[in-house]
Structure 1
Amino acid sequence: MLDVLKSLTLARVKRLALKSVTFSEWRIFARRSEIGLLVAGIVVGLTSGLAVIAMSFISLQLHKLIFGISDYERVSSADLQGEISVLMAPIVGGLLLGLLMMGLALWRKKAMVDPIEANALHGGRMSLTDSIVVAVQNLVSNGFGASVGLEAGYTQLASGLASKIGVNLKLRRNDLRTLLGCGAAGAIAAAFNAPLTGAFYAFELIIGAYTIASLTPVVVSALVANLVTRLLWGDEFTIDIGAFGDVVPGDYVPAILLGALSAGVAILIMKGVSLTEEVARKSSIPAPIRPAIGGIVVGLLATISPQVLSGGHGALHLNLSHATPIAMLVGLFLLKSIATAVSIGSGFRGGLFFASLFMGALLGKVFADLVPYVFGDTTLTPVIYAVVGMSSLAVAIIGGPLTMTFLALEITGDFPITALVLAAVITSSLVVRTTFGYSFATWRFHLRGESIRSAHDVGWIRNLTVGRLMRPDVRTINAKATLDELKVDFPLGSAQRAIVVDDSNRYAGVILIPEVYASPVEKDAAGKGIEDYIKLPNDFLQPNMNARQAATLFDKTESDALAVCNNLIERRVVGVLTESYTLRRYSEELDRRRREASGEL
């Protein structure tokens, strides 16, 4: 019996060892080979597609349960006029979300990180637990009718899964950022049945750059995710725009004007959301109660038009396929804008991706009704203007000019329309960047005090701190010392500078030793103090500053070296840093990141 147990134990140990070796070999393969990263991208594409299907299924079931719609209806296009659920569902959803917020406040103190912030600051590291929490909050918000889409939850969950896989594989920083982009690419590709859109969403918004090294895994991940959703979910995510006319050169002028108009409207929407958040934050209303109050507003708006509910998929199809009076289009646009701003501003979880597409389509159709009064007869149908409007407004809010251009291409399958959209999208993006400077995501980072303007990897800059770069061996001298004492302690050629401190050992300035010896010797110099040679009494670095901030201060003070003090209050000298060393280390790190991004390392 004992021999049998020993043999079973040995067999189990061998199996575990074999598994360990196999995973270790796979980890090495993923780290050292582009093929390994490609395989990881395929796995991420598979998980992203399944995540999108799961969230979409849950959302659809919630809509069926809460609003009583059929399998073939969408909540924003169903005939729900007069239904009490239209009013009550957002309120109940807000209460439920408030309870979740109360639980999170007790359990999770740290702010949750989204994919853009993860790639910009944390090298692609995200918490999968946090991503699941965000996805659940997004499902509650969308499922109960709040005017938000699921795309934020899609990308959060898919990117969280990708980050978890990459961390377990111990991928390098740049490869982990790429794999995170694979997750986001797969999510958007699956959500819109548009693999090119998903891939360039990752390049422009999540990774922040397009490189040959990242091309293959990101595109393959998007293709795999799209294939999975089409096999298991069908063409549920396809946007059908129906019939459309031809494009002629004269149509570019109104399209460009529509792009500029979309940019202005987008800025108003983004500021409206931020204003709503600020009003809610400054009010005395507790944070867990705010979603319920927002739900009251959304519910009341939905009683006027149920098309404001949820992301607006059904409403988009409805308005693209039917002719609607301009007054109704304008009214619906205003209702949807207010509902979206209130939903996000009051604390519902979700994004503006699909909402911006829906509102852009409405804006385009309104513009189509007005164009004949300005340009006379035009060849474009209202549907084409709707496509131009949805792409232009979406790029102004979300960002990603090529992302929205490829979305138009994959929706229409028509290259002339895509060229028209590209002109409008570039115009919209240019106007927003020159007049506002932010997309919705980066605008929210700005309001939080972050300096993130894109997903470019700036986390390494923050890690390259003055505390890591400085020399801790600092020679100091008391501010009350005489010139003779200074020359005794610092003979000519022994040092370039002396850091001056007061009686309390607080920083008082810098003395350049060569200047002291270069000054003419006065007859009455005996016993003279050093105060005339002290420079930069209030200019110093701190250990938590990064290399870029240090370089800025060097430039401002026109100094080639600065003292490093522990903080602004104690001003205790802990080191010294030279400008030349800072710039050299910064350039080395910058070159290293460039080589990593291009696949040279």
Structure 2
Amino acid sequence: MRVPKLDLRRLGFLSVLLDVGRMRAFARRSEIGLVAAGFIVGITSGLAVSLMSWISSGLHQLVFGIGDDQRLSSTDFGADRTVLLAPILGGLVLGLVLFILQRWRKRPIVDPIEANALHGGRLSLTDSIIVAVQNLISNGFGASVGLEAGYTQLASGFASKIGVLLQLRRSDLRTLLGCGAAGAIAAAFNAPLTGAFYAFELIIGSYTIVSLTPVVVSALVANIVAQNLSSGDFTIDVGSFGSVMTADYPPALLLGALCAAMGILIMKGVSLTEEVARKSAIPSVLRPALGGIVVGLLAIVSPQVLSAGHGALHLNLSHETTIPMLIGLLLLKSVASAVSIGSGFRGGLFFASLFMGALLGKLFAYSAPYIFASATLTPVIYAVVGMSALAVAVIGGPLTMTFLALEITGDFPITVLVLAAVITSSLVVRTTFGYSFATWRFHLRGESIRSAHDVGWIRNLTVNRLMRTDVRTARSDLTLEAFRQEFPLGSTQRVVIVDKDNRYIGLVQVHDVYANPTEEKAETSLTSFVRLGNDFLQPTMNAKQAVSLFDKTESDALAVVNNLVERRVIGLLTEAHTLRRYSEELDRRRREASGEI
């Protein structure tokens, strides 16, 4: 029996999705096409989050022997020493993975923020899968890290791969990468608005009308997929609330400032741990196991330090806790998180900062009546305020954390209170420290980026791309008369002077030589007109660095040499051309952001 051939033209919109070529044209030429791509990214993000959550839960059950209805950080293990041994074993497994990667894949792994800031949204899917596996090992064996880093990395990796296959423009690819991160956070927290603004504030770096629809669509779709697959496992129940009074705002502002200080201490603690480990003689592949020993010892004191802390957060929100226990748990979790990240476990501090913020908020609730006599908030409201304020100090994204509070409480007055606290926290961190956790780690690596704003195009606009290669050169031992014969007035503005080995010596303005009276002493040489002998450009410099050097030397042109050792002249660049190309690129980015192109 003959099977009829499938005619894609009869399938309407589905034919576009099934035909890569048509989908590519649809996504590049139409805003609706980009929304369709965001829809697909939302599906992949929801599936990625659900799969990672399922694997993590399975590892917890396998390694720690807990039930499928139990949370690791809220389980009472009694005298069971599994809590000590599991993080150590996880550190050894992760060390083996690192050992293999050191020999197989030596290039540094780029995260979504760095990909959007420097690489135009291009993110390796292979590297993203590697990060997700490392994150699962770390979290699955009890290291004090969350899965949010793996969620966003994997979802963004799939999004970038889809965007590259569709051959999207740089701005559209960056937006699609944001769609992946938005879907991941939305699915992880059952919070589409939180996911969308996480993408705008932390991954894309800006909000535009063009990016709004695909990002929100991706967040909504990912949330629906995850909820259907995971049966509502990504919710945070904070109970009921009382009313919010005007007098409650001063305590919230103070709590925001305290959370900022706590966030800075956590970030400093992570960097200090990394520095100590780096300066020690301990091989990098053994550091996670040593970190696992510390985490295991802390877990013996309180299993609530294990993993991200979902169970522990619910436990502390729903039960009354003494002040000494809150202080002790806050210190234990802080140390466990700093040691876990600093020793090489892979993961993020998103949920850990929410948990620690809730502890700090409840602790603050006990002292608030003594400082503010008119304070009326309950400890659980302070916990919600503390969650968002500490998370914004560590992660960044004031609106992201505000919408998270709205979506987990459903109470608008509390959300306004949270907004006041997170703005305070963000302001204190930016003015006193200047970085979020992600950008602080970039700073430690020598990167100057402070957000996901697209600065990669500036780095791609290099001197090598801007310079002209038809350079007029002359030997330094040339006489003035010979120079005048070879370079008549009007033939060129400037000549690059080189020595007998073709090494750069400096620049000579042709009109300066002709302005020299012919009756001067015969011993006047060409080298007397040479200037900018130690000022030149290199091909790897970007336009911004070139403009800075033009400014410093007060010159309208500079020679380009191949390197500092050989100093062989390979080109010439003028300030006017550099500024014109720089302005053109700036205008192009502006038009991309406004949707004009």
Provide the TM-score with structure 1 as the length reference.
Answer: 0.95
Structure 1 gaps of 5+ residues are none
Q: Which structure 2 residues correspond to residues 182-197 of structure 1 after superposition, within 5 A?
A: 182-197=179-194
In the alignment, what sits opposite 1:469?
466
* Contact residue 562 and residue 577 of structure 1 kept, 8 A: yes
1:392 deviation in Å?
Answer: 1.1
* Contact residue 484 and residue 526 of structure 1 kept, 8 A: no
In the alignment, what sits opposite 1:138?
135
Q: Does 1:592 align with 2:588?
A: yes
SS in 2 for 1:76: helix
Tell me the distance in 2 between the aligned counterparts of 1:489 and 1:527: 19
* Contact residue 167 and residue 176 of structure 1 kept, 8 A: yes
1:21 deviation in Å?
Answer: 9.0
* Contact residue 81 and residue 305 of structure 1 kept, 8 A: no
Tell me the distance in 1 between the aligned counterparts of 2:484 and 2:78: 90
Q: Which structure 2 residues correspond to residues 506-521 of structure 1 after superposition, within 5 A?
A: 506-519=503-516, 521=517
In the alignment, what sits opposite 2:530?
534
1:234 deviation in Å?
Answer: 2.1
1:19 deviation in Å?
Answer: 10
Tell me the distance in 1 between the aligned counterparts of 2:446 and 2:542: 16
SS in 2 for 1:528: coil
Aligned to 1:551, which of 544, 547, 553? 547
1:257 deviation in Å?
Answer: 1.6
**The 10-residue stretch of structure 1 (220-229 or 168-177) with the greater mean CA deviation from structure 2:** 168-177
Q: Structure 1 pair 14/57, CA: closer, same or farther in 2 (3 Å)?
A: closer
In the alignment, what sits opposite 1:206?
203
Tell me the distance in 2 between the aligned counterparts of 1:468 and 1:592: 17
Q: Does 1:456 align with 2:453?
A: yes
SS in 2 for 1:457: coil
SS in 1 for 2:206: coil
1:95 deviation in Å?
Answer: 0.8
In the alignment, what sits opposite 2:574?
578
Q: Structure 1 pair 21/56, CA: closer, same or farther in 2 (3 Å)?
A: closer
SS in 2 for 1:593: helix
* Contact residue 492 and residue 514 of structure 1 kept, 8 A: yes
Q: Structure 1 pair 246/531, CA: closer, same or farther in 2 (3 Å)?
A: same
* Contact residue 74 and residue 304 of structure 2 kept, 8 A: yes
In the alignment, what sits opposite 1:501?
498
* Contact residue 472 and residue 575 of structure 1 kept, 8 A: yes
* Contact residue 298 and residue 342 of structure 1 kept, 8 A: yes
Aligned to 1:76, which of 52, 73, 86? 73
Aligned to 1:484, which of 474, 481, 485? 481
Q: Does 1:414 align with 2:398?
A: no
Q: Spell out, residue by residue over 1:128-149, the C-alpha distance to the aligned partner (whole angstroms, 9 max, x if none).
A: 1221111111111101100000
Aligned to 2:176, which of 158, 166, 179? 179
Q: Does 1:271 align with 2:268?
A: yes
Q: Which amino acid aligns with 2:72?
A: V
**The 10-residue stretch of structure 1 (66-75 or 263-272) with the greater mean CA deviation from structure 2:** 66-75
* Contact residue 510 and residue 536 of structure 1 kept, 8 A: yes
Tell me the distance in 2 between the aligned counterparts of 1:292 and 1:149: 18
Q: Structure 1 pair 14/401, CA: closer, same or farther in 2 (3 Å)?
A: closer
Q: Structure 1 pair 20/260, CA: closer, same or farther in 2 (3 Å)?
A: closer
Tell me the distance in 2 between the aligned counterparts of 1:555 and 1:366: 54
Provide the TM-score with structure 2 as the length reference.
Answer: 0.95
SS in 2 for 1:123: coil
* Contact residue 247 and residue 374 of structure 2 kept, 8 A: no
In the alignment, what sits opposite 2:437?
440
Q: Structure 1 pair 285/21, CA: closer, same or farther in 2 (3 Å)?
A: closer
* Contact residue 469 and residue 570 of structure 2 kept, 8 A: yes
In the alignment, what sits opposite 1:164?
161
* Contact residue 181 and residue 198 of structure 2 kept, 8 A: yes
Tell me the distance in 2 between the aligned counterparts of 1:12 and 1:106: 47
Q: Does 1:566 align with 2:552?
A: no
Tell me the distance in 1 between the aligned counterparts of 2:376 and 2:197: 31
Aligned to 2:49, which of 48, 52, 55? 52
* Contact residue 402 and residue 422 of structure 2 kept, 8 A: yes
1:518 deviation in Å?
Answer: 3.8
1:306 deviation in Å?
Answer: 0.5
In the alignment, what sits opposite 1:367?
364
Tell me the distance in 2 between the aligned counterparts of 1:505 and 1:132: 49
1:12 deviation in Å?
Answer: 11
Tell me the distance in 2 between the aligned counterparts of 1:402 and 1:13: 47
Q: Spell out, residue by residue over 1:98-121, the C-alpha distance to the aligned partner (whole angstroms, 9 max, x if none).
A: 111122222212221111111112
**The 10-residue stretch of structure 1 (144-153 or 355-364) with the greater mean CA deviation from structure 2:** 355-364
1:352 deviation in Å?
Answer: 0.6
Q: Spell out, residue by residue over 1:200-254, the C-alpha distance to the aligned partner (whole angstroms, 9 max, x if none).
A: 0001111111111110000010001111122222221111111222222222222
SS in 2 for 1:379: coil
* Contact residue 81 and residue 306 of structure 1 kept, 8 A: no
Q: Which amino acid aligns with 2:146?
A: G
Q: Which amino acid aligns with 2:233?
A: E
Tell me the distance in 2 between the aligned counterparts of 1:275 and 1:449: 16
Q: Spell out, residue by residue over 1:271-325, the C-alpha distance to the aligned partner (whole angstroms, 9 max, x if none).
A: 1101111111221111111111110000000000100000001111111111211
* Contact residue 204 and residue 403 of structure 1 kept, 8 A: yes
* Contact residue 484 and residue 527 of structure 1 kept, 8 A: no
Residues matched between the structures, number: 592
Q: Which amino acid aligns with 1:296?
A: I
Tell me the distance in 2 between the aligned counterparts of 1:377 and 1:211: 42
SS in 1 for 2:377: coil
Q: Which structure 2 residues correspond to residues 88-487 of structure 1 after superposition, within 5 A?
A: 88-487=85-484
Structure 2 gaps of 5+ residues are 10-14
* Contact residue 164 and residue 173 of structure 2 kept, 8 A: yes
1:377 deviation in Å?
Answer: 3.6
Q: Which amino acid aligns with 1:582?
A: T
* Contact residue 45 and residue 224 of structure 1 kept, 8 A: yes
Tell me the distance in 2 between the aligned counterparts of 1:436 and 1:511: 47
* Contact residue 247 and residue 379 of structure 1 kept, 8 A: yes
1:30 deviation in Å?
Answer: 1.6
